[in-house]
């Protein structure tokens, strides 16, 4: 539904365009979401030269506007209404609305309605391809055989809509994706990466991921082949179940788990076997010890921080799968926190979803992971925010020691001892520093 403020702005735009004899139409996702009675935050509009009109309209009301596409004949101007609401005004493709709608992707997105009728909640939706029927049947259906040739990114969008709306992709559309999958290489990597993040950010992607794999589209994007897809799929579904029900797995830290970067963690799970022999000691390498994953993400134009997050999360999975056991000592917990770093939670989630659970959640298997999370959140992170008992300047002044790897080693050992409660005073820290320095002579 549309709030009253947005309706008021749309009425102003209607008057503005009517004075210029320009007819405006509400199209695409706006009509789809309106029909599904979902909250609408962005309004998709089209009309002759609407991008230029939208810029002038925004200026007349002191609203911010930005050009999203300056391509002649299909320019798009976005009018910013608030932080989360905007109007996207795209020039009509062709001389009639029917021509414009026929060039869209899926039947559910190929409906149009004149703006005044939309604002008055009248009938009169232009539905040339049975979009409303497909919405009723919760079906995603491509408009024509050339829909993916015109824009291959639409193949990924089909899976995103399937996940976000809980719809199924009809068989002929899946067959078209299978036939046209290799055309995805013609799309700019930045657009592909953005669409992937939107897809994996949805809650229920288990079924669509299987279809993406079966059509071969995922392999075209990552060049990865799965030797045991049934197992991968089982782990993936478990990971999504954790995200949707964190309180069942980690009741004490459910908020911390659910706030994780789940789209990147899902990708980490699917990419983890590209570098199956990666060692945690290689994390400081430029490729984080995961060269194939690193290159795949670079090719997809992921940001440096996203690449680091995924690669380090995979490394943590490798670490935890080898080292986490029951009854870990505090010293071992500290080492895991130190090596796990900011991706510790991600590594735990990846490891937990690969545990050999039966149909039920076996909480006894989660005990060491709960123990690690407890140490991380109640001991490790709070201690990092505390002032160190002895800093680098103190050590250099007291012991007349220049900056060196030895100094760094002293500081690391002081931090470790402080977090583990082995030292509690300045004098105890100084004594430990002296002992370490002496051992290095």
**DSSP per residue, 280-295:** GGGGGSTTTT-HHHHH
CA–CA dist 281, 304 (Å, integer): 20
Question: Is 429's pLDDT higher than 60?
Answer: yes
pLDDT category at 361 given cuts 50, 70, 90 is confident
CATH 3.30.460.10 in the chain is located at 1-137
Q: Which of 23-32, 93-102, 160-169, 225-234 has the lowest mean pLDDT?
A: 225-234
Q: How far apart are CA 377 and CA 383, in angstroms?
A: 10
CA distance 362 to 274: 29
Q: Are 278 and 290 in contact (CB under 8 A)?
A: yes
| Beta-bridge partners for 47 | 91
What confidence score (pLDDT) does residue 278 get? 53
Closest CA to 54 of 72, 29, 81: 81
Q: What residues contact residue 75 under an 8 Å CB cut-off, 6+ apart?
A: 51, 52, 67, 69, 90, 91
Taking the C-alpha atoms of residue 169 and residue 154, their distance in angstroms, rounded to an integer, is 13
Length of the chain: 441
If pLDDT is split at 50, 70 and 90, which confidence band does 403 have?
A: confident
Structure confidence by residue, pLDDT tens digits, 319-359: 999 899 888 899 999 999 999 999 999 999 999 999 987 76
* Structure tokens, 263: 């789209």
Where helices occur in 301-343 by DSSP H, the ranges are: 304-323, 330-340
DSSP 186-218: GS-HHHHHHHHHHHHTSS--HHHHHHHHHTTHH
Among residues 47, 45, 153, the alpha carbon closest in space to that of 99 is found at 47
- Say whether pLDDT at 209 is over 80: yes
The CA distance from 188 to 300, in Å, is 9
- The CATH number of 1-137, from 3.30.390.50, 1.10.3720.10, 3.30.460.10, 3.30.450.20, is 3.30.460.10
Q: What is the pLDDT of residues 271-304, one digit of tens each?
A: 998 886 555 555 567 888 888 899 999 999 999 9
pLDDT of 281: 55
Torsion of CA 238, 243, 246, 252, to 10 degrees: 120
Mean pLDDT, the chain, whole residue set: 91
What does the block give as tokens for 389?
Answer: 């008992």
């Amino acid at each position: 539904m549309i709030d009253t403020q947005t309706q008021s702005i749309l009425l102003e735009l209607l008057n503005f365009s009517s004075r210029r004899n320009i007819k405006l139409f509400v199209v695409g996702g706006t009509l789809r979401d309106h029909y599904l009675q979902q909250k609408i935050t962005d309004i998709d509009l089209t009309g002759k030269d609407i991008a230029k009109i939208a810029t002038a309209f925004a200026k007349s009301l002191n609203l911010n506007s930005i050009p999203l596409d300056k391509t002649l004949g299909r320019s798009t101007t976005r009018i910013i209404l608030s932080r989360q609401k905007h109007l996207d005004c795209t020039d009509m493709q062709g001389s009639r609305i029917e021509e414009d709608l026929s060039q869209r992707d899926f039947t559910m997105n190929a409906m149009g309605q004149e703006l005044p009728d939309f604002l008055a909640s009248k009938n009169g939706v232009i539905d040339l391809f049975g979009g409303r029927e497909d919405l009723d049947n919760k079906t995603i259906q491509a408009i024509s055989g050339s829909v993916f040739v015109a824009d291959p990114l639409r193949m990924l969008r089909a899976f995103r809509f399937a996940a976000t709306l809980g719809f199924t992709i009809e068989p002929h559309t899946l067959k078209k994706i299978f036939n046209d999958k290799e055309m995805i290489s013609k799309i700019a990597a930045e657009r592909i990466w953005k669409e992937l993040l939107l897809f994996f950010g949805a809650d229920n992607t288990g079924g669509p991921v299987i279809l993406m794999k079966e059509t071969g589209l995922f392999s075209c994007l990552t060049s990865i082949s799965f030797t045991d897809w049934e197992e991968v799929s089982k782990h993936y579904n478990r990971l999504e179940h954790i995200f949707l029900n964190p309180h069942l797995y980690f009741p004490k830290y459910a908020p911390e788990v659910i706030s994780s970067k789940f789209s990147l963690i899902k990708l980490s799970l699917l990419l983890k076997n590209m570098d199956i022999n990666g060692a945690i000691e290689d994390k400081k390498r430029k490729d984080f010890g995961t060269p194939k994953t690193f290159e795949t993400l670079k090719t997809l134009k992921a940001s440096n921080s996203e690449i680091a997050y995924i690669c380090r999360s995979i490394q943590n999975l490798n670490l935890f799968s080898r080292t986490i056991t029951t009854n870990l000592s505090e010293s071992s917990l500290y080492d895991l926190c130190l090596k796990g770093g900011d991706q510790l939670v991600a590594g735990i989630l990846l490891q937990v979803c690969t545990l050999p659970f039966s149909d039920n959640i076996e909480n006894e298997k989660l005990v060491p992971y709960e123990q690690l999370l407890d140490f991380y959140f109640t001991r490790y992170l709070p201690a990092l925010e505390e002032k160190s008992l002895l800093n680098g300047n103190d050590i250099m002044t007291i012991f007349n020691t220049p900056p060196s790897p030895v100094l760094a080693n002293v500081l690391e050992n002081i931090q470790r001892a402080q977090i583990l409660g082995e030292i509690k005073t300045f004098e105890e820290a100084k004594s430990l520093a002296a002992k370490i320095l002496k051992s290095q002579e």
